Structure 1
Amino acid sequence: MDIAHLLWNSVPPWATIAFFAVDLVIRLLALGTIPHNRRPSAAWGWLLVIFFFPILGGLVYLVLGRADLPEARKAKQREAAGLVDAHGPGTGAQEVREMPDWLAETVRLNQHNGAFPVAGGHRLEVLDDYDASLAVMAETIRGARHYVHFEFYIAVADPTTEPVIAALEDAHDRGVTVRVLIDHLGSVGYPGYQDLVRRLDGVGIDWRRMLPVRPWRGEYQRPDLRNHRKVLVVDGVVAFTGSQNVIDRSYNKAKNKRQHLQWIGMMVRLQGPAVGHLDALFATDWYCETDKMVMGTDRALGANPDRSSPGELVCQVLPSGPGLAQESNQQLFNHLFASARERITVCSPYFVPDDSMYNTLRTAVGRGVQVHLYMGETSNHALTHHAQRSFYEMLIRDGIRIHLYRSPYVLHSKFVLIDDETAVVGSSNMDIRSFVLDHEVNLMVVSADFVGRLDEIVTGYRRNSHELALEDWLARPWYQKYLDNTARLTSALQ
């Protein structure tokens, strides 16, 4: 008699009956509750997990199954949303009177989904050199006279970020009001985070963790609902946003250093009315973490003495995330893809489209639009990377051209170019996490010159990439195909 048989005979009959009863109840409850107000692909994904692993899957669903914030948190967001109405384009904003019909529709869609008003009168500078962008941010902080608002998904103190952290300390010492927001789980696992916390506390800088997960302190929400935004505002006059975190290009992980991984990011430095809109977004997030409104105080201090229009570009700031209009960034991208007449260029480290985005892109190809995707050959998120790879064959067969940036570089820039006049840059990836689970911010820019500047960056990316050929992709080893296909089953979970 084998060990398994002995163990089975030692289990009391009531325990066996109870186990199978619980198993059956979990499956039946899942069938009737999981599909409620959920897209079918996501429902099928969760049902598959629970039907394979009823008890474990049920527990995971209880923790991660609702892409929703606590009611108290959502109430704070609604209360702070008044800042959007109170902080419109402002003095110096150029009214945008003439727009093509499709662009006017885009602006209306964005505002319906919680975007700030579209406005002219902007000047933008693209910063695509990783270390140089940190240096520019540090220099801007050192010139602050009134306040600095600093909000990043990942921020640490390390030799690469030292100019930025030292500039924050120096600004605080000079009497400048410095407020810092850092995503809790986004930053806590990276070397240098504790050093940053000690330095902020040591000099008395006012800082908070965004969306903290510390149940022992009464701070808890679904742990994978994160604030993924990157925003820096100085004196209400200059702002930065984009895809780059405040951390060394290796992200300081020993594994990354062994593989010689180096991140490639991009930030935008801007002046004009959108600076105030990004500041209002910071104020909203600050209120959610502190219960304190900051914008009225800063205006009373005379922090924004010069509102003259610094440029000519047309911009619109679009925040997104749990508690806001559902999947507003995805709606924007799908609308732009459907509006394209000549070309679509997408640069994203994570491209895992749902059915709507995939069909919109393949339809664009059918209309004669050229579609180019720029992604990394390697990634630090294995599950998402394999899920992304599972779409390559379909995309290539549909006429979409895929360019993979050569390892060991991790392409982390995030932008979309539509024809020759419209761009969207920001923090949003092209996956369900950025569309549903993360707080993001994107900047839509209407300017042929700005698109041309990003085209120059794309040309550089193309020189360091290889275009994926279908025959080469089909020849990859069977075990890679298995991993890709298995990971794809997780791509719809939300």
Structure 2
Amino acid sequence: MDLPALTWGMLLDIAEWVIRAGALVVIPFRRKFTAAAWLLLIFFLPIPGLLLFLMIGQPRFPKGRIERFELLRPAFDRVTKALSASKPDQPSAVAAFCEKLGLFPATAGNQVELLDDYDAALGRLVADIDAAKERVFILVYIFADDKTGCSVIDALRRAVARGVDCRVLIDPIGSIHWVRGTIDKLCAVGVNTRRTLPLRLLRGRTRRDMRNHRKLFIVDGQIGYAGSQNIVDKNFRPGVTNRELIARCTGPVVTAMEAVFLGDWFLETGTQPPDGIQLPAPSGDAVLQLLPSGPEYPLEGFETLLVWQLHQAEKRAIIATPYFIPDQDVIAAFRTAAARGVEVDLVLSKVVDHPIVNLAQRSYYEALLHAGVRIHLFDDYLLHAKNVSIDGKLAIVGSSNVDLRSFQLNEEVSLLLYDTKSVADLEAIQRRYIETSIALKLDEWVRRGHPVQVLENLARLVSPLL
């Protein structure tokens, strides 16, 4: 016999309070900025909140993927040992720490070009593919089958016809609007193509929000690209034109880039990286280091490095990022650096492609401006480039945003530049960002309307879930 409706209501109330009590016990142990958002959601919507937390509340890959990553350790160790022969004579403390974070050492004997012309950078990639003799590896978040994407597909077609081994890894969520068409076209011309972190609902479940956000292009093990550049038309969003930055490298660091690609290829295909390692010949004076990061690594690599270096900064720090959803450690590092007299410049984009994310990040501006951080809004383009410079001694170019998604959920990769010339080259680009940006003024910012502030704070409440 069915229980009376009142009894069902009482059971539902009891279940909801049990869920709330359990959340108070379990979630604070995570000691993350996201804990407050999860508690708020579960207290207002206990059952939907619990289901959502079970689905995406813990930034972990499936057990099988973690086990496969551990199988990569011998291959990564071989690469590290080979690269150690190219270490600079006096590696810095930063380089030693980042080797622990991301496994690969800093290497001397590299050459690096910083390319911030969107079309020209892709033109260089096409030219390098057309000159390839052995292999072309591409790992990218967005690969569209639009005009830009087809130009790269055509170059890969020509390479395959020459007998070049061409492989592509595409994130299916980043490329969601194009992934079927792109993969069909790549496979039709003989390119070995796989999805990264393909979505699975049951066995080996892969979460939709944990993505491979890396951008790496490697040609013949001699040329490597790392940065923010995707393979898509620069104005693929209506009314938005992207501005990017990518580093084209030659020298030993390319071996680390290839190792990251082959590691991700193994995770998706089961094909182990080859045993033999042949380092590229020295090609310049740049000292470079690759720092991969992601949920399978013990620490949030890019965030850990950024926070540490902001606390270590003595004169100036410039950070450019399109998305800025920091946690308390990052906010404290910004404010502390500014309080110590460090010139801290944060370059963000005035052009917006994710309005809710933009509202959330705007909620942080007032506190940062009060602390003395200078905020610049880049005009005309969506500044999608992600880069950092500290004291003229360290520069970072990569795929990581200054947000919780890049810190905790995404597979990312950063290129660290240590030599004076390379750092100065990035600083020159960053100065051009600032010159063409609108500087936020505290007295003007605090006068924005109260309705806007309410929307910003509401967006901030859910920002850990964005």
| TM over 0.5, shorter chain | yes
Provide Cα deviations, 1:148-194, integer angstroms capped at 9, x if missing partner. Answer: 11100111111123221111111112110011100121111x2x333
Aligned twin of 2:291: 318
CA distance in 1, matches of 2:15, 2:87: 62
| Contact 1:212–1:220 (CA under 8 A) maintained in structure 2 | no
Compute the RMSD of aligned alpha carbons: 1.9
Q: Within 5 Å, which residues of 2 pair with 1:222-301? A: 222-251=207-236, 256-257=237-238, 260-296=239-275
Aligned twin of 2:101: 113
Aligned-partner residue type, residue 370 of structure 2? R
Higher alpha-carbon deviation: 431-440 or 163-172: 163-172
Aligned twin of 2:404: 432
CA distance in 1, matches of 2:141, 2:313: 31
CA distance in 1, matches of 2:96, 2:420: 21
Q: 1:115 to 1:88 in 2, by over 3 A?
A: closer
CA distance in 1, matches of 2:83, 2:12: 67
CA distance in 1, matches of 2:83, 2:187: 37
Aligned-partner residue type, residue 366 of structure 2? E
CA distance in 1, matches of 2:81, 2:340: 36
TM-score by length of 2: 0.95
Aligned-partner residue type, residue 270 of structure 2? D
How high is the sequence identity, in percent, across the aligned residues? 36
CA distance in 1, matches of 2:415, 2:280: 20
Aligned-partner residue type, residue 312 of structure 1? D
| Contact 1:318–1:443 (CA under 8 A) maintained in structure 2 | yes
Shift of 1:390: 0.5
Aligned-partner residue type, residue 231 of structure 2? V
Q: 1:35 aligns with which of 28, 39, 43?
A: 28
Aligned twin of 2:418: 446
CA distance in 2, matches of 1:345, 1:418: 7
CA distance in 2, matches of 1:40, 1:371: 25
| Contact 2:235–2:241 (CA under 8 A) maintained in structure 1 | yes
Is the partner of 1:35 in helix, strand or coil? helix
TM-score by length of 1: 0.90
CA distance in 2, matches of 1:482, 1:392: 14
| Contact 2:168–2:194 (CA under 8 A) maintained in structure 1 | yes
CA distance in 2, matches of 1:110, 1:91: 14
Shift of 1:382: 2.4
Aligned twin of 2:196: 210
Shift of 1:219: 5.7
| Contact 1:50–1:58 (CA under 8 A) maintained in structure 2 | yes
Alignment partner of 1:127 is 2:115: yes
Aligned length: 463
| Contact 1:315–1:445 (CA under 8 A) maintained in structure 2 | yes
CA distance in 2, matches of 1:114, 1:225: 19
CA distance in 2, matches of 1:320, 1:284: 13
Provide Cα deviations, 1:376-395, integer angstroms capped at 9, x if missing partner. Answer: 01322223211111110001
CA distance in 2, matches of 1:463, 1:105: 33
CA distance in 1, matches of 2:39, 2:367: 25
Provide Cα deviations, 1:412-442, integer angstroms capped at 9, x if missing partner. Answer: 0111001112101100111111111000000
Q: 1:406 aligns with which of 354, 379, 382?
A: 379
| Contact 1:263–1:412 (CA under 8 A) maintained in structure 2 | yes
CA distance in 1, matches of 2:75, 2:443: 53
Q: 1:378 aligns with which of 323, 341, 351?
A: 351
Is the partner of 1:388 in helix, strand or coil? helix
Shift of 1:89: 6.6
Shift of 1:109: 1.8
| Contact 1:114–1:325 (CA under 8 A) maintained in structure 2 | no
Q: 1:84 to 1:139 in 2, by over 3 A?
A: same
Structure 1 unmatched ranges of 5 or more = 1-10
Alignment partner of 1:362 is 2:335: yes
Q: 1:117 to 1:424 in 2, by over 3 A?
A: same
Aligned twin of 2:165: 177
| Contact 1:125–1:268 (CA under 8 A) maintained in structure 2 | yes
